[in-house]
Amino acid sequence: MNFEVNECVAKQSDLKIVVILLHLLQTYKFKFMKRLKYLLIFTFCFSLLGYSQYKLPPLPYAYNALEPYIDSTTMRIHHDLHHATYVTNLNKTLEKFPEFYKKDLLDLIKNVNQLPVEIQTAVRNNGGGVWNHSFFWTVMAPAGTANMSPNMEKLLKDNFGSVDAFKAEFEKAALNRFGSGWVWLIKDAKGKLSITSTANQDNTLMSVSPVKGTPVLALDVWEHAYYLKYQNKRAAYAKAFWSVVNWTEVERLVTK
């Protein structure tokens, strides 16, 4: 999953070149010095586009699109505050290492244990938070707009015995995840599907995850994802989730 970028961080090498050239202009009083100064300043500003920060992707639907199963207030807070905070904190974490801004987010978090030790935990938590939420929005859709196809139903039956058995196992994983985290439907290299969960903002693509696999469906079981509507009733939230699953996207991910 690739994310667009917006804010810019300067390349130090470009800055040094501009400073040297300006010094030469002052020293040797080249003709049209003022014009050249402006040209160099413009060149420097353009070079600011060299490294760019991660930004918050928009929701693929309106805040109230998942009503009544997930309320609009929760969606607004979840996306505009929680998800946005992960983006802000990730960008702040990478300020000392701006070369990492150019990396695809998934590449960054998949190899988090190869990053400088001082930022590994922050990137794991905040980079994971950015990627997980961005993925989560895409596997939901307004009720009735992306129903399960016969092919998807067969895939679940082949892997879990029945759709009901799959849902029961998924809901059980949601209830058994102590504290905050995520529940995942993942596929392995051979296409076999399985259910697992991760703590905090980890996911099964990370090198630090004990269970590896490609996510095809996710449920956020942090309390901020459901507490306004469901309070402490996580089981009710997990059951309501089925009404807003984007099965079209899930099937695409399973079969690609």
- The pLDDT tens digits of the residues spanning 43-55 come to 444 344 445 799 9
- Note the pLDDT of residue 52: 74
The residue among 69, 72, 40, 54 whose CA lies nearest residue 4 is: 54
Residue 56 pLDDT: 98
Q: Quick one: average pLDDT of 178-188? A: 97
Rounded average pLDDT over 104-129: 97
Q: State residue 49's pLDDT score.
A: 42
Give yes or no for residue 147 having a pLDDT over 70: yes
Count CB neighbours of 98 within 10 A: 18
Q: Predicted confidence band at 92 (pLDDT cuts at 50, 70, 90)?
A: very high
pTM, whole model, 2 decimals? 0.81
Q: What's the per-residue H, E or C state across 140-202?
A: ECCCCCCCCCHHHHHHHHHHHCCHHHHHHHHHHHHHHCCCCEEEEEEECCCCCEEEEEEECCC
* pLDDT confidence of residue 34: 53
Q: Rounded to an integer, what distance in angstroms lies between the CA atom of residue 102 and that of residue 52?
A: 6
| Least confident interval from 45-59, 73-87, 140-154 | 45-59
Residue 2 has pLDDT above 70, yes or no: no
The CA–CA distances, whole Å, from 72 to 109, 131, 196, 228 equal: 30, 21, 28, 10
Evaluate if residue 168 carries a pLDDT over 50: yes
Q: What is the mean pLDDT of residues 172-185?
A: 98
Q: What percent helix, strand, coil does the chain show, rounded to 5?
A: 60, 10, 30
pLDDT of the residue at 24: 52
**Per-residue pLDDT, 16:** 52
- Give the whole-number percent of the chain exceeding pLDDT 70: 80
Tell me the per-residue pLDDT of 12-40, one tens digit each, with 9 for 90 and over.
Answer: 444 555 455 455 546 555 454 555 454 44
**Averaged pLDDT, 170-176:** 98
